[in-house]
Chains A and B, each alone.
Chain A
Amino acid sequence: MTEISLEALSPKREQPVPGEPENWRRFFSFSTDHKVIGIQYIVVAFVFFLIGGFLAMIIRGELITPEADLVDRTVYNALFTMHGTIMLFMWTFPVLNGLANYLVPLQIGARDMAFPRLNAVAFWMVPVFGVILMASFLVPGGPSQSGWWAYPPVSLQNPTGNLINGQFLWILAVALSGISSIMGAVNIVTTIIRMRAPGMTFFKMPVFCWAVMAAQTIQLFGLPALTAGAVMLLFDLSVGTSFFDPATGGDPVLYQHFFWFYSHPAVYVIILPVFGVFSELFPVYARKPLFGYKFVAVSSFVITGLSAIVWVHHMFASGTPGWMRMLFMASTMLISVPTGVKIFAWVATIWGGKIKLSTPMLFALGGLVNFLFAGITGIMLAAVPFDIHVNNTYFVVGHFHYVIYGAAVMGIYAAIYHWFPKMTGRMYYEGLGKLHFVLTFVGVNLNFLPMHPAGLMGMPRRVASYDPEFAYWNVLASLGGFLLGVSTLPFLLNMISSWILGEKAPANPWRAIGLEWLVSSPPPHENFAVIPTVVSEPYGYGKNEPLIASQMASTELTSELS
């Protein structure tokens, strides 16, 4: 190895000051460091979360009275369309990509992702398509009003007659988001399959990485179908082809198939990494090994497989033939089996443990409770007769907000708190964190639980005005919505002030097991001076077994880098 030249020594990747995590300017640069990109993803996504949440509060403000009095009906249509689109494509996907970006290389013992530059390009597309989507507020006619599904023929209406209209920009933004997600998926899957540290077999890999790989696999096979549908929709809208327009012989239901073939599995793209977070957190804060580790790991891929054959349950009321309804009802209900395996394993993990109710654990437990509720209403919705009854009502809205906010967003908060010391090198304020949890948990249930009775009574979704008999539930939901808006304030205060003034964090503040906790907080440039050799399963809590080949090496590593 004497032939190594000085060229090899100089860092290949652009970095303002290599090896110096204190340099804040790197967050505003085209950095190819996965840790910088991870935090960039999370912060940018959170900005969009606030924007999407602001739109949601206008929606709840409108719905606090039965009349359409706060905003114009067309504005209301634009608001719920943009709210849904932003929350999915600009908040949940990017923030989870950010967590995966930050954690996967650290957890598998790699120095970076497989393709660092592709990683940076994929991230920088997020602000680009975010701005494109926001720009639709400025074009004549305003943003798309066809909901985040963009079903034709509604989405093919173009009253202003302009080529650049809200729906056009919407399709463009979603297509760019798709390209960015595919880049991310190729990168993450390649990284996990090919760059694990020596000794880390698949069954020694943390469940978070399993879950991320399962989720990104869905992106790989699902997103292209949505892209195909979006391309055809774009041609229908802009060129005048007749793929989906029934007036010229097209088939609008085919679009629904394309859309849901991706967009139902997309829910698992969101929830699977959150399941991964739960699986990481419960053992740490209950001080017990993860119950049924292999089952939890594999069940993510069972969900991935099943997710490809359930999409028609969104179309039970779209003239779907009876045999198809039966088939997809059964396949949808099957999803509850691998999901049930996970919930059982988590409960068994917590059971009898030395539970420490710090903020991440509170969010994880809250997320688990909300997810259980969402799962129960999910099984109800899978049943065709019930689904036909509540189709397009607030029952559906309540159900998926329990999944997306109650489980996914709370899981994301749990992850942010849990890994905040690792990412920033500072501790967060526990009191503010607990306040944030209480506001969020109460807000979620106050906002989304009343949607279920309103839906059962027959209140349709996507309407600016409604029958006064639904007013009671809507007032409750609106109060919950405003509470959720307020809940972001202690979080923001906590994150910003802790990052600047917080107490310095040690390498492993939670006494957690995992490769990411063996390096300093924040980890040095390129993570590991010496790539560790993994010898045991993760989650060896209370077992007193070494995680990596030489614990001597690990202590040297930590002391050298701190």
Chain B
Amino acid sequence: MSSVNLDQSLNSAATVHAADHHEEGEHRLFGFIVFLLSESVIFLSFFVGYIVYKTSATDWLPAGVEGLEVREPFINTIVLVSSSFVIYIAERYLHKENLWGFRAFWLLTMAMGSFFLYGQAVEWMGLDFGFTDGLFGGTFYLLTGFHGLHVLTGVLLQGIMLGRSFIPGNYDDGEVGVAATSLFWHFVDVIWIILFILIYVWQ
């Protein structure tokens, strides 16, 4: 192949690349949704396990444990669920190209997520049963811990997206990272609602 031909083929390839650039972001969002669907099956499996254990175990609660306190987790739930609306407002601001509005509400989401994690930690500290205390202890810490790990991941991702908003012109065309993080946050939120009903409401 002569060098002229090589140049030509590179040239045409580059033209198509530029056209592809916008599509690439959409691939990422699509791939992320596929991943989230797959991830949801892990939670589904844990939920099914929880239901099987709860309905079939002979001694469900460990000795000396009456049940779970609902008040503080309920406050936590309200904070986490509301943060889903806050992150939506942040996204709208970004859509309107109001970067400071985006940053303010995005930061508020992060604060609410961190509050949830703090509340979760406080609850764990105050419990008088551990991970190895029977099926109840095991499933409780498994579910809340695995979900908490996702909340932590979400807050970290939000931190990265916040940092990237300071790169000039970064969010000018398309904000796939923000959209994906926001989607992840809604996912974490929905999982928590199911989890709250299974563990705290259905006692």
Tell yes or no: A186 within 8 A of B by CB: yes
The residue from B13, B41, B53, B139 contacting A224, defined by CB atoms under 8 A apart: B41
The residue from B10, B34, B46, B132 contacting A241, defined by CB atoms under 8 A apart: B132
Whether A529 pairs with B9 at a CB distance below 8 angstroms is yes
Q: How far is the CA of A398 from the CA of B16 in the complex (A)?
A: 52
Whether A190 pairs with B17 at a CB distance below 8 angstroms is no
Which of A1-9, A141-149, A277-285, A288-296 lines the interface with chain B? Answer: A1-9
Tell yes or no: A137 within 8 A of B by CB: no
Could you mark each residue 173-189 of chain A with 1 if its beta carbon is under 8 Å from any beta carbon of chain B, else 0? Answer: 00000000010011101
Which of B55-63, B73-81, B83-91, B163-171 lines the interface with chain A? Answer: B55-63
Whether A243 pairs with B132 at a CB distance below 8 angstroms is no
Whether B38 pairs with A224 at a CB distance below 8 angstroms is yes
135-162 of chain B: CB within 8 A of chain A: 135, 137-139, 142, 146
Query: What 10 new A-B contacts, CB under 8 Å, besides A194-B30, A227-B42?
Result: A9-B14, A12-B17, A189-B34, A190-B27, A224-B44, A228-B49, A239-B131, A241-B138, A243-B139, A254-B52
Secondary structure type dominating chain A contacts: helix
Whether A249 pairs with B34 at a CB distance below 8 angstroms is no
Tell yes or no: B39 within 8 A of A by CB: yes
Whether B37 pairs with A220 at a CB distance below 8 angstroms is yes
A1 to chain B: which residues have CB within 8 Å?
15, 18
- A4-B14, A182-B38, A220-B34 are known contacts. Are A249 and B58 too (CB-CB below 8 A)? yes
A194 to chain B: which residues have CB within 8 Å?
23, 26-27, 30
Secondary structure type dominating chain B contacts: helix
Residue of B11, B27, B38, B131 with most partner-chain A CB within 10 A: B38
Tell yes or no: A122 within 8 A of B by CB: no
Whether B135 pairs with A186 at a CB distance below 8 angstroms is no
Residue of B12, B42, B56 with most partner-chain A CB within 10 A: B42
1-15 of chain B: CB within 8 A of chain A: 1, 5-6, 9-15
Whether A530 pairs with B12 at a CB distance below 8 angstroms is yes
Whether B30 pairs with A193 at a CB distance below 8 angstroms is yes
Whether B131 pairs with A235 at a CB distance below 8 angstroms is yes
Residue of B6, B34, B37, B44 with most partner-chain A CB within 10 A: B34
B57 to chain A: which residues have CB within 8 Å?
249
Whether B45 pairs with A242 at a CB distance below 8 angstroms is no
Chain A residue at minimum C-beta to C-beta distance from B60 = A249
Whether A223 pairs with B18 at a CB distance below 8 angstroms is no
- A232-B142, A241-B138, A529-B12 are known contacts. Are A220 and B52 too (CB-CB below 8 A)? no
A261 to chain B: which residues have CB within 8 Å?
45
Q: How far is the CA of A560 from the CA of B10 in the complex (A)?
A: 12
Could you mark each residue 513-547 of chain A with 1 if its beta carbon is under 8 Å from any beta carbon of chain B, else 0? Answer: 00000000000101001110000000000000000
Tell yes or no: B174 within 8 A of A by CB: no
Q: How far is the CA of A224 from the CA of B17 in the complex (A)?
A: 35
B39 CB → nearest A CB, Å: 7
Tell yes or no: A19 within 8 A of B by CB: yes
Tell yes or no: A23 within 8 A of B by CB: no
Whether A258 pairs with B38 at a CB distance below 8 angstroms is no
> Can you name 5 A-B residue pairings with CB atoms under 8 Å?
A19-B10, A223-B38, A232-B49, A249-B57, A249-B59
Tell yes or no: A505 within 8 A of B by CB: no
A190 to chain B: which residues have CB within 8 Å?
27, 30-31, 34
Tell yes or no: A56 within 8 A of B by CB: no
B88 CB → nearest A CB, Å: 25
Tell yes or no: B202 within 8 A of A by CB: no
Chain B residue at minimum C-beta to C-beta distance from A222 = B41
Q: How far is the CA of A4 from the CA of B21 in the complex (A)?
A: 12
Tell yes or no: A203 within 8 A of B by CB: no
Q: How far is the CA of A235 from the CA of B49 in the complex (A)?
A: 15
Whether A239 pairs with B26 at a CB distance below 8 angstroms is no
A248 to chain B: which residues have CB within 8 Å?
134
Tell yes or no: A114 within 8 A of B by CB: yes
Chain A residue at minimum C-beta to C-beta distance from B28 = A115
B138 to chain A: which residues have CB within 8 Å?
232, 235, 241-243
B47 CB → nearest A CB, Å: 10
Whether A241 pairs with B131 at a CB distance below 8 angstroms is yes
Q: How far is the CA of A111 from the CA of B39 in the complex (A)?
A: 28
Tell yes or no: A221 within 8 A of B by CB: yes
A-B contact count (CB 8 A): 120
Q: How far is the CA of A227 from the CA of B40 in the complex (A)?
A: 12
85-104 of chain B: CB within 8 A of chain A: none
Q: How far is the CA of A261 from the CA of B12 in the complex (A)?
A: 47
Residue of A4, A115, A241, A254 with most partner-chain B CB within 10 A: A241
A251 to chain B: which residues have CB within 8 Å?
52-53, 56
Q: How far is the CA of A9 from the CA of B13 in the complex (A)?
A: 8
Q: How far is the CA of A111 from the CA of B37 in the complex (A)?
A: 27
A227 to chain B: which residues have CB within 8 Å?
42, 45
- A186-B35, A228-B46, A529-B9 are known contacts. Are A114 and B27 too (CB-CB below 8 A)? yes
Tell yes or no: A561 within 8 A of B by CB: yes
Whether A224 pairs with B39 at a CB distance below 8 angstroms is yes
B5 to chain A: which residues have CB within 8 Å?
560
Chain A residue at minimum C-beta to C-beta distance from B21 = A8
B14 to chain A: which residues have CB within 8 Å?
4, 8-9
Q: How far is the CA of A232 from the CA of B50 in the complex (A)?
A: 12
B35 to chain A: which residues have CB within 8 Å?
182, 186
Whether B39 pairs with A560 at a CB distance below 8 angstroms is no
Q: How far is the CA of A254 from the CA of B57 in the complex (A)?
A: 12
Q: How far is the CA of A270 from the CA of B28 in the complex (A)?
A: 27
A224 to chain B: which residues have CB within 8 Å?
38-42, 44-45
Tell yes or no: A229 within 8 A of B by CB: yes
Q: How far is the CA of A414 from the CA of B128 in the complex (A)?
A: 61
Chain A residue at minimum C-beta to C-beta distance from B137 = A241
Whether B45 pairs with A225 at a CB distance below 8 angstroms is yes
Tell yes or no: A240 within 8 A of B by CB: yes
- A254-B52, A529-B12 are known contacts. Are A185 and B31 too (CB-CB below 8 A)? no
B109 CB → nearest A CB, Å: 26
- A242-B138, A251-B52 are known contacts. Are A115 and B45 too (CB-CB below 8 A)? no
Chain B residue at minimum C-beta to C-beta distance from A115 = B31
Chain B residue at minimum C-beta to C-beta distance from A183 = B35
401-441 of chain A: CB within 8 A of chain B: none
Tell yes or no: A250 within 8 A of B by CB: yes
A144 CB → nearest B CB, Å: 22
A125 CB → nearest B CB, Å: 16
Whether A243 pairs with B135 at a CB distance below 8 angstroms is yes
